[in-house]
Amino acid sequence: MLLFFKDYKKFAIVFLIISIVILSIIYNKLNVYQPLPVYQPAMVSTELVDSTIQYQKKYHKIADFSLINQNGKIITQADYKDKIYVADFFFTTCQTICPIMTTNMAEIQKEIIDDNDVMLLSHSVTPQIDDVAQLKKYALEKGVDDKKWNLVTGDKKQIYELARKSYLAVKTFGNGDEYDMIHTENFMLIDKKRQIRGFYDGTSKEDIERLLDDIKILKNEPVK
181-183 and 170-172: which strand pairing?
Answer: antiparallel
pLDDT for residue 14 is more than 60: no
User: Model pTM?
Assistant: 0.84
H-helix segments, the chain: 2-30, 98-112, 132-142, 156-161, 205-219
pLDDT for residue 121 is more than 70: yes
Is residue 130 within 8 Å of 159, Cβ to Cβ? no
Angle at 170 between CA 100 and CA 74, to 5 degrees: 80
Cα–Cα distance for residue pair 197/35, rounded to 1 Å: 9
Residue 12 confidence class, pLDDT cut points 50, 70, 90: low
Q: Which CATH superfamily is domain 41-219 in?
A: Glutaredoxin (3.40.30.10)
CA 150 to chain centre: 15
pLDDT for residue 27 is more than 50: no
Q: What is the pLDDT of residues 62-80, one digit of tens each?
A: 999 999 999 999 999 999 9
Residues 6 or more apart whose Cβ sits within 8 Å of residue 112: 118, 119, 120, 148, 215
Q: What is the pLDDT of residues 204-216, one digit of tens each?
A: 999 999 999 999 9
pLDDT for residue 2 is more than 50: no
Lowest-pLDDT range of 30-34, 90-94, 126-130, 138-142 = 30-34
Cα–Cα distance for residue pair 82/116, rounded to 1 Å: 10
Q: What is the pLDDT of residue 29?
A: 46
Q: Per-residue pLDDT averaged across 41-61, rounded?
A: 96
Q: Per-residue pLDDT averaged across 136-149, rounded?
A: 98
Q: Per-residue pLDDT averaged across 168-178, rounded?
A: 76
Q: What is the pLDDT of residue 212?
A: 98
**Main-chain phi, psi angles of 44, to 5 degrees:** -115, 150
% of residues, the chain, pLDDT over 90 = 77
Q: What is the pLDDT of residue 222?
A: 83
Q: Per-residue pLDDT averaged across 116-143, rounded?
A: 97
Q: What is the pLDDT of residue 144?
A: 98
pLDDT for residue 15 is more than 70: no
Q: What is the pLDDT of residue 6?
A: 53
Q: Smallest Cα–Cα separation from 153: which of 78, 77, 74?
A: 74
Instruction: Write down the number of H helices and E strands in the chain.
Output: 5, 9
Residues 6 or more apart whose Cβ sits within 8 Å of residue 12: none
Cα–Cα distance for residue pair 87/199, rounded to 1 Å: 10
Q: How far is CA 170 from CA 47, 57, 63, 199, 211, in A?
A: 8, 19, 16, 12, 19
Q: Smallest Cα–Cα separation from 184: which of 197, 162, 168?
A: 168
pLDDT for residue 17 is more than 60: yes
Is residue 220 within 8 Å of 191, Cβ to Cβ? no
